[in-house]
């Protein structure tokens, strides 16, 4: 069996410790804060609380994906050591980084014809994308080879459910995802939009819930309706949050009460600086395995 590594982008929003423990490699996206560029390096350069505080204080943010040259250098390091590669990209519904990865792949296979590079579009984001990577690490450890793992990822990636809500519409308005008029009305009415990721890997608004008190049980209801085996769900559940840990904790506690057979406790992660540049603070996302996502 050939040696291979599994890899993703930093936008899978797992911790450095998690990536190391599961032997998952990653490449960093980039962002700008008030015109200065930083790597999206899991909060090492700028801690997440400081990043979100800067946004709340009016700092301008901008993101950029991993480009072809970066992928070339990153992938070649593994190829030179004799490893094949399975790299899973951030959803093509949110970013064009998979195109850069494919260009790099094709160029490198000409230089290393005996090596294999498999590129998969996760059609996911944040710790939902991370949940997929964690499962791939399980299957690798159980003995799946590169081709089997690549096929499994393609066949099962749409079974990862992504549900989000936000208690702060400021950055949705700023980014143009909500009009100023709708945003002002939503803020006055204390609207918390509930969104999920569709089968094309794009975020889609589903419901407008009035108040945080109501949206927390609603997002858990979405898990009850869509999780594998319903309330008998027995796999992992991840949450990611942007500067609203107590809200995420409330969701986690309700999930653990509702699903007594969970595989371990709910894991709460930070929404990283790339995804967070677009959501801003106040977003909670819930991820679990369920029926295949459709429109």
Closest CA to 137 of 42, 12, 261, 44: 12
Whether the pLDDT of residue 295 is over 80: the answer is: no
Dump pLDDT digits (tens) for 108-139.
999 999 999 999 999 999 999 999 999 999 99
pLDDT at 182 over 80: no
Give the pLDDT of residue 181. Answer: 45
Give the alpha-carbon dihedral of 125, 134, 29, 105, to 10 degrees: -100
The pLDDT of 253-258, averaged and rounded, is 98
Could you tell me how many residues make up the chain?
295
Cα-based torsion angle of the residue sequence 21, 159, 247, 40 in order, rounded to the nearest 10 degrees: 50
Query: What was the pLDDT predicted at 175?
Result: 53
Q: What angle do CA 38, 285, 48 make, to 5 degrees?
A: 30
Listed as own residue / partner, the contacts of 60-64 with beta carbons closer than 8 Å and 24 or more positions apart are: 60/32, 60/33, 60/34, 60/35, 61/31, 61/32, 61/33, 61/273, 61/277, 62/31, 62/32, 62/277, 63/29, 63/30, 63/31, 63/32, 63/273, 63/274, 63/277, 63/278, 64/29, 64/30, 64/31, 64/32
Is residue 189 within a helix (H) or strand (E), and if so which, with residue range? none
At residue 81, the pLDDT reads 96
Q: Name the token pair of 49.
A: 């609380």
| Short-list 131, 160, 128, CA closest to 285 | 128
Distance between CA atoms of residues 184 and 222, nearest Å: 27
The residue behind tokens 């490893």 is 83
Backbone angles phi and psi of 162, in degrees to 5: -125, 115
Predicted confidence (pLDDT) at residue 185 exceeds the cutoff of 60? no
Average pLDDT, the chain: 93
pLDDT of 169 reads 67
pLDDT computed for residue 167 by the predictor: 86
What phi and psi values does residue 213 have, to the nearest 5 degrees? -60, -35
């Amino acid at each position: 069996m050939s040696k291979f590594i599994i890899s993703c982008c930093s936008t899978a929003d797992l911790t450095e410790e998690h990536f190391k423990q599961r032997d998952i490699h990653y490449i960093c996206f980039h962002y700008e804060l008030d015109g200065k560029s930083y790597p999206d390096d899991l909060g090492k350069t700028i801690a997440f609380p400081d990043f979100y505080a800067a946004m709340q204080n009016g700092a301008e943010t901008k993101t950029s994906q991993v480009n072809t040259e970066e992928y070339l250098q990153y992938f070649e390091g593994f190829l030179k050591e004799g490893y094949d590669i399975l790299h899973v990209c951030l959803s093509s519904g949110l970013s064009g980084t998979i195109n850069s990865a494919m260009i790099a792949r094709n160029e490198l296979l000409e230089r290393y014809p005996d090596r294999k590079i498999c590129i998969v579009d996760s059609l996911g984001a944040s710790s939902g994308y991370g949940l997929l990577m964690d499962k791939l690490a399980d299957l690798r450890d159980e003995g799946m080879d590169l081709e089997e793992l690549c096929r499994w990822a393609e066949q099962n990636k749409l079974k990862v459910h992504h549900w989000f809500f936000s208690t702060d519409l400021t950055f949705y308005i700023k980014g143009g995802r909500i009009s100023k008029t709708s945003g002002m009305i939503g803020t006055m009415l204390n609207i918390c939009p509930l969104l999920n990721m569709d089968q094309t890997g794009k975020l889609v608004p589903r419901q407008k819930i009035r108040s945080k008190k109501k949206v927390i049980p609603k997002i858990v209801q979405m898990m009850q309706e869509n999780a594998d085996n319903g309330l008998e769900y027995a796999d992992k559940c991840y949450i990611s949050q942007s500067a609203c840990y107590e809200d995420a904790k409330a969701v986690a506690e309700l999930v653990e009460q509702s699903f007594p057979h969970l595989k371990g406790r709910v894991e709460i992660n930070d929404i990283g600086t790339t995804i967070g540049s677009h959501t801003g603070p106040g977003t909670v996302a819930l991820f679990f395995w369920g029926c295949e996502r459709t429109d």
